[in-house]
Chains A and B, each alone.
Chain A
Amino acid sequence: MGKINFSKIQNELRAVEQSSLPELHLSVLRNITLEPMESYWKYLAYQMGYKAVVQWGKYDRILDEAIEGKEDLFGSNVDCILIFMKLENLSWDLARKFPGLNDQQIQPEINRINNYIEEVLENIRQKTQAPILWHGFEIPSFPVEALCHGQMHKGHASTIGHLNACLQEFLQKASNAYLVDLNRILLRLGYKNFYDFRFWHIGQLPYTLEGLYEIAVEDFKWIRAFKGKNKKCLVLDCDNVLWGGIIGEDGLVGIKLGKTHPGSMYYEFQQEILNLYHQGILIALCSKNNEEDVFEVFEKHPDMLLKREHIVTARVNWDSKTENLKQIAQDLNLGLDHLVMIEDSPFEADLIREFLPEVEVLKLNAEESFEYRNILASCGLFETLTSSKEDKTRTQMYQTEIQRKEVKREAASLEGYYKTLEMELAIHFVDDFSVPRIAQLTQRTNQFSLTTRRYTEFDVKRLQGDGGADVLYIQLKDKFGDLGIVGVCILRYKDQQAVMDTFLLSCRVLGRGVEKAFLSQALCLSQKRGCTSVIGEYYPTRKNVQAKDFYPEQGFEMIEANEKDVLRFQYLLNKEIPLNLGFFKNIDSAITQHSEMKL
């Protein structure tokens, strides 16, 4: 029955209830019984550092709840709305008596369901833009007349597949709403392990504990991404992880790695790692080994899929792994909580968990190397909502950043260093090409972010389109390469006042004067839009302390500090704005090109 003991976690959770962890508000709309799932959601939330608060909508009152719009289900503090609409309780006809229907009955029933779904979504969206996770319809494991209709478009299973396709369209239209595919979970567990027909008949609870747990795990892959808690760097041990055996003892020809057993277990694992690399996840090495031994494998072993160029940074030495992990985080300018360490030694794994609890450790069991690939593929730790062009080149960008750091260490003065970088800055208004990256930056950026508001692609488009706001982004180039889109500023205008809704920079470009130049541009724009003042806000999080003094340092006056430590600053535009040209070789701005830009 899964790995987690159901009653034990209920006990553990009682302690979590008393804790002061930040709350995660989940609202559930459903036409079935699911309450035992609450423990699993809470448990997974706790693993992510949250205390989940679950609000249940009334049984089989999905549309009524959406129309009524109670504050506890749709209030501004809701982090995610989860919807479970099981076909059996929505359309008995399509779910169970399919052969009794003719074409004239099927289509109206499909239309009725689609209208119902649209109405639910519209009503929810009138109340909140919170992310929605809609659990799709399950394809019957034993569709009626499967043999004779299985090949046809209008068969039982394909009709339900069609409903899911419609649902997906409605969700896209509603924006920030996503389909959770229960069929994938059904596929993983199998029919007998997924469904519990005793409780289905007794209390309309369709799933086993194992089924509920797997659904909750799937939900949290999404929620992790919504909260920007997705991991960014995979740190790998080498011996018995990337290959079988120990390179220092078994030698290049002695280690297990290849296309047939047992080497295939490591070969397939490496392919899975490469797949993450291509999604923009950074790959680092942290291994107690001789560096030359390890890189000999990288360079000379014919079946080594991972190459040296895939590795963003390596700490291969005999120092402690905790020190090396800290160093890796520092090299990459990432928080320790962005790292996932893959480790086969129970001793090292425990040590890391003990001394660096922020680092997620995936412990592999060298006796079960055939599971390596599955463990990585199923972990869901790296999932993101959007992908962008930058994902493909992220490793190179970090590698050049490490080079930059070396040049900086060698340069006599910081000023001289910046000058040698030959930086070129460009400031643009959002366009179709930049939308995915802008959304991604709002979701990924934690350190230099003044308000840490997370936006989806849809949100970004809507902001620029609504006439009362500007979405700006910056691109940075230097002699080492193109860093791409590295900063976002969103200004909202009201009554001759501009509010800096969002101001953020990728941590890779901090400390080069980019933030000052960018802010000047935003101030200039506000002036050209006819504003008389700009309001800057600082919302503290666990990670953005370094941005706290940014506004006062740039000449903003503090006007308010509330009990939640949110700081509010003002900048009066009744003067000429200093342009802060810094050490840039060139600044290409869409703003300074125009003298006046009325809204």
Chain B
Amino acid sequence: MKERVLQVISQVMDVPIEQLTLNASVDTIEKWDSLQHMNLVLALEEEFNISFSDQEIIEMLSAEIIVEVLKGKAIPAS
């Protein structure tokens, strides 16, 4: 699941996947602004076929947190 998250981040933020780790966040990726964040959330919802709450959306500002939130939604880690 971690790989899929990074894959989506890579696609939306236009960053090569090799450069991405769980540390990727609003602070490390230049393109990750509030607009791209919306695109990212929409793409993740599509990829995992789930829906985030408003609170989750505003909190998931790094790959690590996204993975945690997805675990909380019973998406298996591997």
Q: Say whether A associates with B.
A: yes
Say which residue of A11, A202, A209 sits within 8 Å of B42 (CB atoms). A209
The 0/1 profile, CB within 8 Å of A marked 1, for residues 8-34 of chain B is 100110100000000000000000001
Q: Which residues of A contact B (CB under 8 A)?
A: 1, 5-8, 10-11, 14, 33, 35-36, 198-199, 201-203, 205, 209
Complex alpha-carbon distance, A209 and B47, angstroms: 13
Q: A14 — which chain B residues lie within 8 A by C-beta?
A: 14
- Known contacts A198-B53, A198-B54, A202-B57; is A10 also within 8 Å of B38 by CB? no
Q: Which residues of B contact A (CB under 8 A)?
A: 8, 11-12, 14, 34-35, 38-39, 42-43, 45-47, 52-54, 57-58
Q: Is the CB of A36 within 8 A of B46?
A: no
Q: A6 — which chain B residues lie within 8 A by C-beta?
A: 39, 42-43, 46
Complex alpha-carbon distance, A209 and B41, angstroms: 11
Q: Is the CB of B42 within 8 A of A35?
A: no
Q: Is the CB of A7 within 8 A of B58?
A: no
Q: Is the CB of B57 within 8 A of A7?
A: no
25 A-B pairs whose Cβ atoms sit less than 8 Å apart in the complex: A1-B45, A1-B46, A6-B43, A6-B46, A7-B8, A7-B11, A7-B43, A7-B46, A7-B47, A8-B11, A10-B11, A10-B12, A14-B14, A33-B38, A35-B39, A36-B38, A36-B42, A198-B54, A199-B38, A199-B57, A202-B54, A202-B58, A203-B34, A209-B42, A209-B46
Q: A201 — which chain B residues lie within 8 A by C-beta?
A: 54
Q: B54 — which chain A residues lie within 8 A by C-beta?
A: 198, 201-202
Q: Is the CB of A35 within 8 A of B47?
A: no
Q: B53 — which chain A residues lie within 8 A by C-beta?
A: 198
Closest-by-CB residue of B relative to A200 is B54
Closest-by-CB residue of A relative to B7 is A7
- Known contacts A5-B46, A198-B57; is A11 also within 8 Å of B11 by CB? yes
Closest-by-CB residue of B relative to A1 is B46
Say which residue of A1, A11, A205 sits within 8 Å of B38 (CB atoms). A205
Q: A7 — which chain B residues lie within 8 A by C-beta?
A: 8, 11-12, 43, 46-47
Complex alpha-carbon distance, A317 and B35, angstroms: 55
Q: B38 — which chain A residues lie within 8 A by C-beta?
A: 33, 35-36, 199, 202-203, 205
